């Protein structure tokens, strides 16, 4: 999994194509043995059709979240249309580019996720558990195989973004520093949840999912009551 710790572009070899920022992935896979069917995972900053086609020419498969504007002649439903569909809905389009089969899959969870892959597709469908805020209970929804495989292997920054994106603070602000504050608060809660579950696992106690953990924090803060402000006396001249 390449999450982009080094984005300084270095010179490509003669047999390596120029793929702009994704050229860093081409450079880093030089150490990966070719033609052994390794699978490379990356996020939407690097995923592109030319990169995935090149990786197949090197005997490597790939999978990653992708920006819609990087899929030529994209036929997936617009995100506005996906929002109207039931949670767990997915669709897939398969295309052949220079002899390489690519699968583009869109899946609706809390929001729409788009993936591009030469390794996996939509099928088989799996069942995953999600918390439904309207029904106030956990529900089971369909999940494409490509999502399952991606979640199984992602690490680092993209894993953090994935977890935060499910239950992030919904408050919005035009002030940039407030958006940073809300993001850091989400990161802090996520880190606290990881530490909590680590301790619970060592003590063989029941763990909580992210939603339950955030809900308990909210309840505790509400029970604290108003802050007792000290009444200042008049200043002595």
C-alpha torsion 165→120→95→33, nearest 10: 110
Lowest-confidence region among 10-14, 55-59, 60-64, 223-227: 10-14
Please give the average per-residue pLDDT across 155-163, as a whole number. Answer: 63
Please give the average per-residue pLDDT across 11-21, as a whole number. Answer: 65
**E strands within the chain?**
38-42, 60-65, 90-97, 100-108, 112-117, 126-132, 137-143
Q: Give per-residue pLDDT as tens, 84-126.
A: 888 888 999 988 888 889 999 999 988 888 999 998 989 898 9
Q: Using DSSP bridges, classify how beta strands 60-65 and 100-108 pair: parallel, antiparallel or unpaired.
A: unpaired
CA gap 175, 172 in Å, rounded: 9
Q: Give per-residue pLDDT as tens, 194-222.
A: 888 888 888 887 878 888 888 888 888 88
CA gap 66, 46 in Å, rounded: 8
191 C-beta neighbours (distance < 10 Å), count = 11
- Structure confidence at residue 67 (pLDDT): 86
DSSP assignment letter at 213: H
pLDDT bucket at 231, cuts 50 / 70 / 90: low
Triad 102, 107, 113: Cα angle to 5°: 85
CA gap 54, 32 in Å, rounded: 14
| Range with top average pLDDT, 61-75, 155-169, 219-233 | 61-75
pLDDT above 50: residue 8:
no
- Structure confidence at residue 172 (pLDDT): 75
Q: Using DSSP bridges, classify how beta strands 126-132 and 38-42 pair: parallel, antiparallel or unpaired.
A: unpaired
- 60 contacts 40 by C-beta, under 8 angstroms: yes
pLDDT bucket at 14, cuts 50 / 70 / 90: low
- Structure confidence at residue 12 (pLDDT): 61
181 vs 17, higher pLDDT: 181
Percent of the chain with pLDDT over 70: 79
| Range with top average pLDDT, 12-16, 61-65, 135-139, 168-172 | 61-65
């Amino acid at each position: 999994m390449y999450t982009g710790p080094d984005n300084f572009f270095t010179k490509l070899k003669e047999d390596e194509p120029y793929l702009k920022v994704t050229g860093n992935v081409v450079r880093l896979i030089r150490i990966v043995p070719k033609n052994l069917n390794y699978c490379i995972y990356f996020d939407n900053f690097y995923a592109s059709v030319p990169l995935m086609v090149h990786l197949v020419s090197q005997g490597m498969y790939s999978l990653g979240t992708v920006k819609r504007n990087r899929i030529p002649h994209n036929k997936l439903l617009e995100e506005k249309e996906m929002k109207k569909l039931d949670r767990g809905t997915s669709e897939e389009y398969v295309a052949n580019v220079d002899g390489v089969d690519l699968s583009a899959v869109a899946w609706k969870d809390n929001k729409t996720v788009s993936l591009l892959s030469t390794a996996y597709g939509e099928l088989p469908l799996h069942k995953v558990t999600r918390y439904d805020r309207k029904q106030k209970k956990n529900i089971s929804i369909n999940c494409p195989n490509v999502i399952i495989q991606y979640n199984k292997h992602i690490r680092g920054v993209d894993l953090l973004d994935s977890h935060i994106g499910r239950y992030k603070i919904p408050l919005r602000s035009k002030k940039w520093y407030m958006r940073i504050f809300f993001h850091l608060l989400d990161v802090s809660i996520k880190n606290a949840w990881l530490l909590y579950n680590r301790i619970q696992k060592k003590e063989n106690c029941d763990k909580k999912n992210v939603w339950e953990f955030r809900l308990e924090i909210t309840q505790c803060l509400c029970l604290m009551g108003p802050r007792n402000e000290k009444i200042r006396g008049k200043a002595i001249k």
